[in-house]
């Protein structure tokens, strides 16, 4: 038996609008830009819903109905669920519809897509809890498998997830960790008892997520037949972990690239061969025994050629910004002011730090594509001015800063 484990990550941050020092202490809304501004969350959500969420879910729903074997795992952040509720109930309904088939599993993560695990365990656990409750409310499921923001992962995280009762955890199948081993199996994290580890097959995933529309790629154009052939050619795999951003479909790879066509044909092509199937992340963990232990003392992620946190925490601006933010934690939480706490949490979303990344040369194209700011410096200035406004709001409440 061989299973494709298709896992899609749905996320939109609350981008900070153009926010200068003159806005600090006078305008406490950091996230509502003019509709036509590049940082307008509403406009971006409308665009992504129209280009990606709605047309992709339409196709997924048909595939799920046509092929009972077809399964999908989704992680969907609290920040994007909120935005869908507010600006595209239609897209949110389409997510509910695919979940209602019973063939879609929701994966646990932090509500705010944050890096809180690395800065504050209490805050991290709070956000995971918030996310679980939101998923229960919207989709009626309780997540069993955990993924941390950007698939960031280390032994500590696995230990935490094991203790927290998750049956599985996801990360990158990075060569430096796996060495001679293949990501196409189920593993166990070092120092844990029960939990299982699923590692992304980044070559096969990136063929779809990054290379699909690239006409300079030697394998272009990629068809479902060709792709299935590659998978079938792997002799000993049990599970192909295809992990990618949901927005691959229609947003990162546009409709014109043929990505939807590829998606529509993949299940039928794959299921043609006896023994081929699809599984959700929980299903593969239940069905397949682990083949070995994986030891990850240092943090890995699914991003950039370094596969570490350097896209978020790799330069002094990023470190200054995130450390300043977490240093406010106790004072912010102590206020009990829900709006203030929520703004502080929205600023924790990892995207803010990603926009400040200056690694332009090796991964610049990807970063530039995802940033609504002209420069990483602009992103930093906006962020710090918003941070200063949080300080100001604390002062207004009589808190010393």
Summarize as ranges the residues that interact with other proteins (CB under 8 A): 20-22, 24-26, 315-317, 319-321, 324, 358, 375, 377, 380-381, 384, 387-389, 391-392, 395-396, 400-401
Which tokens hold the place of 212? 């699909």
Please say which residue, 195 or 381, places its beta carbon nearer to other proteins: 381
At closest approach, how far in Å is the CB of 310 from other proteins? 15
Q: Which of 105, 109, 150, 251 is catalytic?
A: 150
At closest approach, how far in Å is the CB of 244 from other proteins? 32
Task: Judge whether 320 counts as a catalytic residue.
Answer: no
At closest approach, how far in Å is the CB of 130 from other proteins? 27
At closest approach, how far in Å is the CB of 40 from other proteins? 21
At closest approach, how far in Å is the CB of 199 from other proteins? 34
Which tokens hold the place of 313? 């925490």
Please say which residue, 285 or 311, places its beta carbon nearer to other proteins: 311
Which tokens hold the place of 180? 């001679």
Please say which residue, 26 or 305, places its beta carbon nearer to other proteins: 26
Question: Could you give the CA distance from residue 111 to residue 125 in angstroms, rounded to a whole number?
Answer: 10
Please say which residue, 200 or 367, places its beta carbon nearer to other proteins: 367
Question: Could you give the CA distance from residue 210 to residue 247 in angstroms, rounded to a whole number?
Answer: 11
Please say which residue, 23 or 247, places its beta carbon nearer to other proteins: 23
At closest approach, how far in Å is the CB of 319 from other proteins? 7
CB count, 10 Å around CB of 291?
14
At closest approach, how far in Å is the CB of 321 from other proteins? 7
Tell me, letter by letter, the H, E, C secondary structure of the chain.
CEEEEEEEEECCCCCCCCCCCCCCCCCCCCCCCCCCCCCCHHHHHHHHHHHHHHHHHHHHHHHHHHCCCCCEEEEECHHHHHHHHHHCHHHHHHHHHHHHCCCEEECECCCCCECHHHCCHHHHHHHHHHHHHHHHHHHCCCCCEECCHHHCECHHHHHHHHHCCCCEEEEECCHHHHCCCCCCCEEEECCCCCCEEEEECHHHHHHHHCCCCCCCCCCCCCCHHHHHHHHHCCCCCCEEEEEEEHHHECCCECHHHCHHHHHHHHHHHHHCCCCEEECCHHHHHHHCCCCCEECCCCCECCCCCCCCCHHHHCCHHHHHHHHHHHHCHHHHHHHCCHHHHHHHHHCCEHHHHHCCCCCHHHHHHHHHHHCCCCCHHHHHHHHHHHHHHHHHHHHHCCCCC
Please say which residue, 193 or 400, places its beta carbon nearer to other proteins: 400
Please say which residue, 99 or 317, places its beta carbon nearer to other proteins: 317
What residues are annotated to the active site? Answer: 150
């Amino acid at each position: 038996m061989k299973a494709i484990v298709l896992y899609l990550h749905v996320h939109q941050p609350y981008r900070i609008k153009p926010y200068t020092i003159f806005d600090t202490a006078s305008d406490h809304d950091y996230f509502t830009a003019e509709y036509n501004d590049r940082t307008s969350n509403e406009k971006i959500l409308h665009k992504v819903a129209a280009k990606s969420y709605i047309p992709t879910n339409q196709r997924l729903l048909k595939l799920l109905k046509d092929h009972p074997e077809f399964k999908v795992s989704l992680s969907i952040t609290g920040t994007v669920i909120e935005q869908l509720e507010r600006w595209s109930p239609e897209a949110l309904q389409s997510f509910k519809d695919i979940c209602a088939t019973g063939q879609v599993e929701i994966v646990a993560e932090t509500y705010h897509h944050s890096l809180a695990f690395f800065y504050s365990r209490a805050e991290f656990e709070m956000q995971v809890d918030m996310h679980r409750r939101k998923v229960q409310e919207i989709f009626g499921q309780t997540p069993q498998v955990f993924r941390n923001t950007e698939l960031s992962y280390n032994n500590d995280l696995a230990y935490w997830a094991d203790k927290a009762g998750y049956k599985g955890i996801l990360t990158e199948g990075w060569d430096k960790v796996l060495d001679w081993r293949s990501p196409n199996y189920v593993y166990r994290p070092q120092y844990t008892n029960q939990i299982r580890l699923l590692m992304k097959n980044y070559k096969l995933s990136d063929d779809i997520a990054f290379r699909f529309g690239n006409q300079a790629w030697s394998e272009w154009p990629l068809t479902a037949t060709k792709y299935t052939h590659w998978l079938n050619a792997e002799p000993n795999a049990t599970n192909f972990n295809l992990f990618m951003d949901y927005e691959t479909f229609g947003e990162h790879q546009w409709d014109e690239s043929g990505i939807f066509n590829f998606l529509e044909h993949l299940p039928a092509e794959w299921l043609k061969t006896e023994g081929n199937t699809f599984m959700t992340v929980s299903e593969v963990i239940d069905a397949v025994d682990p083949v070995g232990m994986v030891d990850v003392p240092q943090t890995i992620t699914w991003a950039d050629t370094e596969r570490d946190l350097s896209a978020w925490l790799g330069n002094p601006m990023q470190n200054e910004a995130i450390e300043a933010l977490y240093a406010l934690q106790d004072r912010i939480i102590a206020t009990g002011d829900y709006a203030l706490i929520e703004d502080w949490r929205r600023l924790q979303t990892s995207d803010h730090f990603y926009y400040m990344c200056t690694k332009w040369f090796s991964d610049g194209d990807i970063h530039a594509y995802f940033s609504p700011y002209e420069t990483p410096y602009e992103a930093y200035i906006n962020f710090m001015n918003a941070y200063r406004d949080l300080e100001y709001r604390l002062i207004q409440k009589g808190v010393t800063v």
